[in-house]
Amino acid sequence: MLSAALVLGALVGASVAKPEASPFGISSSLTKRISSGCSTSGPASCHNTTRETNLCCFESPGGLILQTQFWDTDVSGSPSDSWTIHGLWPDNCDGSFSEDCDPSRDYTDISSLLENQGATSTLDFMNQFWLNDDGSNEELWEHEWATHGTCYSTLQVDCLPEGSPKGAEAVAFFETVVNLFQTLPTFDWLEDADITPSSSKSYSLSELTEALEKQFGATPTFDCDDSTVTQVSYYFNLKGSVIDGEFIPTDSPESGSCKSSVKYPPKKG
C-alpha cells in the first residue's frame, strides 16, 4: 500500500478523486527510509498568507510541482501498457523555475546510491518505468536529480535527520518520484475512457484532458511532437516535505503544445 503521506490529498475547497489502488501493486519495500519530521497540517505551497521561515517543511520557492510522464513509442523495453517517468520538477509559484541549484550534490551512479541505501525495489521499478529515450537510464536519472532535485528547499542536506548517509536526500527524491508516479496511471485512466493507442485513429485533445481530469481531480497538460502526444504533466502543491508530504492536485497554469486533434500511437515493442 502507498504511504499515507503520498496519497493524493483534497484540493482546497474541492473534492479530488483518489485511485483506490496502484495498478502496479506498490510493494511495502518502497516505503520511505527517512522521515522529515514535518507536519502536513500547515498551508500548501504557493498558498501561504504569511512568510514561511522553515523551508525544510515548506517547499519554496519551487512550490508548483509537476510530475511529467513520457509516451515513448520507440524506446527499447518501454512497457506497452504504461507511460513512463520523465521527472518531478519544482517550478516557482509564478511559473518560472530554477535549475542546477547545487552542483556539489550532482551525484553520479544513482543505481549504486539506491542499492547502498536499501532502495533496491525503487531501483528495479525505475529500470522498468523511468527510461531514457536518448542515452542510458543513469544519464537521465543523474540529470533529473542534478537539474531539478537539487532545487527543492525541503531536500537540502540540513533538512535531513541527523546521521543520514550522504545522498539520502537524493534517495528520498527518487522514492517520492516513483511513489507519486504509481498514483498516476495515465494509461489506465485513458483506457477507462475508451482512449487506447491506435495506428489509425485520432482523438481530440479535450477527450484526453477530460479523461485524466475526471480521475486526477485537476487539469493536466499534454505536449506533442507535431500531432503525436509525447508527454503529460500533472501539477501539485505540497504540504510538508518532498520526503513524505502531501501532494495536492492543482490545475495546470499553462496549455501544452498539442493542437485540438492528437495521435496516440501504440509502442513499437
Catalytic residue among 144, 169, 175, 213: 144
Catalytic residue among 47, 59, 99, 148: 148
Give 206-225 as a DSSP string: HHHHHHHHHHHSS--EEEEE
* Residue 148 appears among annotated catalytic residues: yes
Cell numbers 475526471 label which residue? 214
* Residue 86 appears among annotated catalytic residues: yes
| CA 259 to chain centroid | 24
Catalytic residue among 86, 142, 169, 175: 86
Give the DSSP letter of residue 73. Answer: S
Give the whole-angstrom CA distance, residue 16 versus residue 9.
Answer: 7
CA dihedral 213, 79, 71, 130 (to 10 degrees): 90
Which residues share a beta bridge with 194? none
* Residue 47 appears among annotated catalytic residues: no
Q: Mutual orientation of helices 137-147 and 120-129 as an angle, nearest 10°?
A: 110
Q: Is residue 30 within 8 Å of residue 223, measured between CB atoms?
A: no
**236 contact partners, CB below 8 Å, separation of at least 6:** 64, 65, 66, 67, 247, 248, 249, 250
Give the whole-angstrom CA distance, residue 102 versus residue 104.
Answer: 5
Catalytic positions, written as ranges: 86, 144, 148
